[in-house]
Amino acid sequence: MQLRVPAPPEPPPGGGRAERRRSARPSTRERAGSVTARILGLSAPLTRRLAPYLRPLAPYARRLKPAYPRPGRSGWRRWTPSWRQWLGGTLASFGLLSAFLVTAYALTDIPSDLNSYATQQDNVYFWSDGTPMARTGWVQRQAMPLKDIPPDVRWAVLAAENETFYSDPGISVKGISRALFRTVGEGDTQGGSTITQQYVKNVYLNQNQTVSRKFTEAMISLKLDNKMSKDKILEGYLNTSWFGRGTYGIQRASQAYYGKDVSKLNASEAAMLAGLLKGAGLYDPTLSKANHQRAEERWSWILDRMVKIHKLTPAQRAQYKTFPEPLKANPLYNTGEQSDYLVELASQYAKKSAHLTDQQFDLGGYQIYTTFDRKREKALTDAVTKARKKAKQDNPDAAKNGHYGAASVTTDGRILAVYGGPDHRTQGYNESNATTVPAGTAFLPFVYAAGLEHGVHKTRGGPATPVTPDSVYDGDDAVPVTTPEGPYWDRSGKKVSAHNDGNKSYGEITLREALAKSVNTPFMQLGMDTGLGQVRQTAQASGLLSTSIGPQVPTLSLGSSTPSAIRMASGYATFAADGTHTEPYSVRRITRNGAPLALATPRPTRAIGPEVAKDVDQALTDSFRAAHPGVAAPDAAGKAGTADQGTTGEDDTGLNTAAWYAGTADSVSTAVVVYRMDLAKSLEPLPLKGLAGTSPDTVPYALWSAAMGLD
């Protein structure tokens, strides 16, 4: 049996469309969700997905939806939002602001690179007595560890700038609001930053006073305060802040205003320096009377604040009634004149001996303690300055191209003083370290030492025959130089012969007497007998540089080598040091921000035997006494030396081109050279034309005597 299901009745005409309209019409809940979505400004696809979740908010959304003008109100009240709308707007703004700040904090990174200007420091050079000599660098800054900064100094700064530093979050909301109001509303700036914010501005940002910079400063400060200890932030701030007088950091400020390290400041001096942080141009008391009054008032206020925050007792505060007057001028001065030559020598030695690259050294922060003696440097400089002035008056033509090089070196290698030139800023050419003019007869002691040390060879390949100070040589002028095979011929086919000063002949003469009287001919022959290679080796072992040693021909013994004044002084010091040589050095200690660096200090080495050194020193003593019998200096030893155009060849037409004096007294060796040279044209020596004076009281000897304190 089959069941029949009756078909549904057909709708009346037009009824289908009405039903479809009813079915397509959204329900009350759907309409509520749609209204809420429209109020919140959501898109249609998102609205359909979120509709179930938005329906409960519909009643509140309708109330918050602004309707202007407000129905049921009249006059101005029609345009005033209801309390619900005020509350909703406030909460929404607070929520958006909070979300913005949280997002900004999360997205802000602490810069990995510090402001290079904020971290750059100067290099400071000190005399041998520890007093400042010079500084180099664009800024005066030396970073100091916080442990080396006394608590009174730290709290003076905190009392002046940010007493809540150790408890605040790194920013001051009140200060930022005030600063933003002043910047945006009135176009200027206002203080109120914490020390953390000031540190961030110093080392990470620039000094631009803009809203965006202040906002970035605040975000970095918050994050930095969470990642860095308060002590490290305070240390960085104290080392990067501007204190006036060209100084950055509390250490340089202490030296600039009070001439001492920060570790030696008391609370009163610290309070004066802390006052400068508000603006050195207004609070440096030495600039004006108004500045002095402001500085004194702020100094007193800071000390009172230290009492208020319990960092000074009233009894301690009572001790500081008198304003601590700072120095009138910054004692940390730039280089100039002679100090530039000293700095040049010291910096070169420091980089080499401490294994520092140029880039590392230029970052600064180094304290270079030199070997230079302030009193000796002044005596030498004053003596040469006086000689230059006299030469310009007496012999202006010769003085125009006159040069004076001098150096004092101890027997243990310390360079005590140099004269490098009139002014490094106009002549960078350092005359004390130049290897341009021959040593002339000042070189004879090295030949004498080589002969005494190694003996002589009368036959080629035969055994060495000992030589003593009493060994006799021919001292006549123009004696031909011989070898085991016969006369020595130069390249032009002429016999080589030596000449004495003034072509004087002395006959048979001992080597000791020949050195004392500066007789040339015995030493040219002694050099050949000993071997020019041995002469060269002895000169180098005694302190002369290999690059300055002359060609290995007979004139080597008469001083064709071109040592600097520093190296000549070092060589003569070897004779006074019993034959041990210590390389000359100009730096005894290096630190960086107070921490010592490893420094390779030269050690003495054996150059010649002690008996040989004693014999050479005795001959030099005889030379000194013979030339200057009236000088009361029992331990002085030295000799004059001249070089002429014939020194570098084998002719006898020499004209003096350099005059030397080198010698030792009280374990200090000094060498002085006077020469003429037109640096604008060439490095060829010119005739002295009387610039060096006459024997025995030559200009080099007068300068040597002044440098040694014998005049």
For 294-312, write each residue's pLDDT tens digit.
Answer: 999 999 999 999 999 999 9
The answer, yes or no, to whether residue 170 has pLDDT greater than 90, is: no
Tell me how far apart the alpha carbons of residues 549 and 435 are, in angstroms, rounded to a whole number.
10
Can you tell me the mean pLDDT for 441-451? 97
Neighbouring-strand partners of residue 38: none
Q: What's the pLDDT score for residue 5?
A: 47
pLDDT in tens, 412-428: 999 999 999 988 777 77
Domain ranges of the chain: 83-112, 143-182+190-319
Can you tell me the mean pLDDT for 347-376? 90
pLDDT in tens, 676-709: 988 878 888 899 988 998 887 899 999 999 999 9
Backbone φ and ψ for 572, nearest 5 degrees, come out as -70, -30
Tell me how far apart the alpha carbons of residues 590 and 707 are, in angstroms, rounded to a whole number.
27
The answer, yes or no, to whether residue 100 has pLDDT greater than 50, is: yes
Question: How much of the chain, in percent, has pLDDT values that exceed 70?
Answer: 75
Q: What's the pLDDT score for residue 2?
A: 44
Compare 334 and 163 and report the one with higher pLDDT.
Answer: 163
Sheet holding 668-676, edge to edge: 415-419, 402-410, 668-676, 656-665, 637-644
Helix (H), strand (E) counts: the chain: 27, 19
Residue 476: band (very low, low, confident or very high) from pLDDT cuts 50, 70, 90 = very high
331-335, 357-361, 458-462: the lowest-pLDDT one: 331-335
Residue found by looking up tokens 């604008």 in the block:
680
Asked whether the CA dihedral 430, 138, 142, 298 is positive or negative, the reply is positive
Tell me how far apart the alpha carbons of residues 446 and 540 are, in angstroms, rounded to a whole number.
9
Q: What's the pLDDT score for residue 462?
A: 81
Residue 650: band (very low, low, confident or very high) from pLDDT cuts 50, 70, 90 = very low
Q: What's the pLDDT score for residue 136?
A: 81
Q: Is 583 helix (H, G, I), strand (E, B) or coil?
A: coil
User: Average pLDDT over the chain, rounded to whole?
Assistant: 83
Per-position b or e across 262-285, b if 16+ CB within 10 A of its CB: beebbbbbbbbbbbbbeebebbbb
pLDDT in tens, 236-272: 889 888 888 878 889 989 988 998 989 999 999 999 9
The answer, yes or no, to whether residue 120 has pLDDT greater than 90, is: no
Residue 618: band (very low, low, confident or very high) from pLDDT cuts 50, 70, 90 = very high
Contact 580/410 with Cβ under 8 angstroms? no
Q: What's the pLDDT score for residue 271?
A: 96
Q: How many CA atoms lie within 13 A of 397 on its CB side?
A: 5
Two tokens, residue 58:
């519909």
Residue 331: band (very low, low, confident or very high) from pLDDT cuts 50, 70, 90 = confident
The answer, yes or no, to whether residue 374 has pLDDT greater than 70, is: yes
Two tokens, residue 195:
């020390």
Residue 186: band (very low, low, confident or very high) from pLDDT cuts 50, 70, 90 = very low
Residue 32: band (very low, low, confident or very high) from pLDDT cuts 50, 70, 90 = low
- According to DSSP, the β-strands at 605-606 and 637-644 are unpaired
Residue 205: band (very low, low, confident or very high) from pLDDT cuts 50, 70, 90 = low
The answer, yes or no, to whether residue 36 has pLDDT greater than 60, is: no
Two tokens, residue 662:
């080198």
Q: What's the pLDDT score for residue 190?
A: 42
Neighbouring-strand partners of residue 580: 606
Can you tell me the mean pLDDT for 103-127? 65
Q: What's the pLDDT score for residue 632?
A: 85
29-38, 328-337, 388-397: the lowest-pLDDT one: 29-38
Contact 538/453 with Cβ under 8 angstroms? yes
Compare 465 and 360 and report the one with higher pLDDT.
Answer: 465
For the chain, the residue count is 711
34-43, 212-221, 670-679, 695-704: the lowest-pLDDT one: 34-43
Q: How many CB atoms lie within 10 A of CB 331?
A: 14
Two tokens, residue 695:
């024997």
Compare 333 and 482 and report the one with higher pLDDT.
Answer: 482
Q: What's the pLDDT score for residue 189?
A: 40
Residue 486: band (very low, low, confident or very high) from pLDDT cuts 50, 70, 90 = confident
Q: What's the pLDDT score for residue 531?
A: 94
The answer, yes or no, to whether residue 607 has pLDDT greater than 50, is: yes
Q: What is 143-182+190-319's CATH superfamily?
A: Biosynthetic peptidoglycan transglycosylase-like (1.10.3810.10)
